[in-house]
Chains A and B, each alone.
Chain A
Amino acid sequence: MNLFDSLTISGSALAAQRQRSEIVAANMANAETTHTQAGGPYRRKEVVFQSSSASGFRLALAGTGHMNGPTAGTVQISEVVEDPTPPVMRYEPNHPDANKDGYVAYPSINPVMEMVDLMSSVRSYQLNASAVSAAKQMIQQSIDILKS
């Protein structure tokens, strides 16, 4: 059914945007983190969105010939990449993570950039949430045909 596919598509975008805002939150929380398990300062992370034509289940159904075609246009986060920008060096000789010259590597995170990214993600989330309620309203109207 088409309208439920709309819900699937908008839902995939909601999930993707939520994950994006989680990544932004992680970036802001770790703006001053100099120590990670991998060693070195925290690296800023970015998400990569990818539009995908179908989920596996949907493709399998389409293969049986009972479905018109796969759900087109769902979005997903294909990978989370690290920003290659070199860390910012600050002179803090008493810091335990300081190198032999007394410099500490801090992640190069710009709070303004993160805030803008977060706002854009929140707006996209709102947009897709309103698309969900539009589709829900249409489904509700179809159900109302059954009422007298």
Chain B
Amino acid sequence: MPTIPIISTLESYLRLTASREQAISANMANVDTPGYHTRDINFQGELSKAMNGVLNESADGTGAMQISPVVQEVKGLMERPDGNNVNLDREGLLMSQTQLQYQIGVQLVKHQFHQILSAINGGGQG
């Protein structure tokens, strides 16, 4: 059944996007916390890890997988005198990017379900 891996892949994509959104929220919340360092997840690395997991699991048919992306500190940002290196421009851009990525994922999931629905309804008649 080819549709199941696509939906699981999209699921891990959405989960990762939501985790990233959480990391960005944390950075924004701590914009005034002295000594706080910007944290983020390595999106591409985590996504390819998750997709490998999806492929392996669809082979052996086990249940839902667990994604726990590694949140790490971002290097190369300028630190303010209070030891905080949150860059609001970076966080704002990443947040809108993440939001759009999430929207894409949601649209793709919807499309998958619509395809299944149209198959159930008998193609053109549905």
Contacts and interface: CB of A to CB of B under 8 A. Distances in A.
B26 A73 contact: yes
Contact of B68 (A9, A50, A69, A148): A69
Q: Is the interface of B mostly helix, strand, loop or mixed?
A: helix
A5 interface: yes
A128 B29 contact: yes
Contact of A124 (B22, B31, B96, B102): B31
B58 interface: no
A3 B103 CA distance: 14
B22 A9 contact: yes
Interface string A122-148: 001001100100110110011011001
A49 interface: yes
Contacts, number: 100
B95 A12 contact: no
A134 B95 contact: yes
Contact of B27 (A5, A49, A73): A73
A51 B33 CA distance: 7
A10 interface: yes
A85 interface: no
Given A68-B66, A141-B106, A145-B113, A75 B18 contact: no
B18 A6 contact: yes
Contacts of B96: 134
A69 B71 CA distance: 12
Contacts of B18: 1-3, 6, 138
B25 A127 contact: no
Given A6-B18, A137-B99, A73 B23 contact: yes
A141 B22 CA distance: 16
A124 B91 CA distance: 13
Nearest to A10: B25
Contacts of A135: 21, 25
26 contacts: A2-B18, A2-B19, A2-B22, A9-B25, A10-B25, A13-B28, A13-B30, A20-B32, A49-B33, A51-B26, A68-B68, A71-B22, A72-B23, A72-B26, A73-B22, A73-B23, A74-B26, A75-B30, A75-B32, A120-B32, A131-B95, A135-B25, A138-B21, A138-B99, A142-B14, A144-B106
